[in-house]
Amino acid sequence: MALKDKVALITGSSRGIGAAIAKLFAQHEAKVVVHGRDLAALAAVRADIERAGGRAIEVAGDLTRLSDIEGMRSRVEETLGPIDVLVANAGKSYTRPGLPLEETTEDGWRASIEGTLTATFLTLKAILPSMKRRRTGSIITISSAAARRPHPASPMPYAAAKAAMELMTQSLAAQAGPYNIRVNCIAPETILTETNERTIPDAQKATLVETHPIRRLGTPDDVARAALFLASEDAGWISGVVLDVAGGAVLVR
């Protein structure tokens, strides 16, 4: 199995993309750590993993507080061992799509940067030293198609945070490579998470489908399969890439 006995922490895995990654990793025999703020949702993800014969534990913590992340890391190490695979998935937009820059509040800007970029930076800062000491590890950050090309409907602070995350990922790949640590990024386009299934009107979904050369919208499993590949030794000589899981909608020259 691709991740047999690897300890994998997936932040923001109580639902959606993170939950799909956690479940797929567990199917491939990773020891999975699910993280989030909704304790009931976390318990449900853990229960799904255990019913399928996998192993998982839950952790909770504020990713904008380094002390919280270090506490989570300590608990994981005491329970399962050192973290081999990190998927830094947590993050969201705190401003509405298409909001003009001059109408974006300072609070909305700061929340988007803190909750997405700073949270990822602090997660990497807490987990990386152990990987360096052991000279092994695979790190995956989760960006967005919003960071890959400008669009007037994108939430600007979120897009800026995700674009900065991509450069941070590639800079870290250059720094960590000599320690045998691979660092990659996945940039999904529109993904039919539970929330998007519920909130995007059917007519808008049909319009969005037409913007993708592959005529469908993405699923959490599409992203999970990409994460499994990047986390595994099948991608053993791949580092510093931003992989567009976007149905061909993002074509980078």
Catalytic residue numbers read 158
Q: How many Å apart are CA 146 and CA 250, to the nearest integer?
A: 10
Q: How many Å apart are CA 34 and CA 46, to the nearest integer?
A: 7
Q: Which of 243, 240, 89 is nearest to 176 (CA)?
A: 240
Is residue 218 a contact partner of residue 192, using CB atoms and an 8 Å limit?
yes
Q: Reduced to 3 states, what is the DSSP secondary structure of residue 29?
A: coil
C-alpha separations of 211 from 115, 118, 162, 198, 208 in Å: 29, 31, 21, 20, 5
Dihedral sign, CA of 232, 235, 241, 247?
A: negative
85-88 vs 137-142, strand pairing mode:
parallel
137: its two tokens? 């590890």
Q: 64-85: buried (b, 16+ CB within 10 Å) or exposed (e) per residue?
A: beeebbeebbeebeeebeebbb
Helix (H) or strand (E) holding 153, with range, is none
Contacts of 202 (CB under 8 A, 6+ apart): none
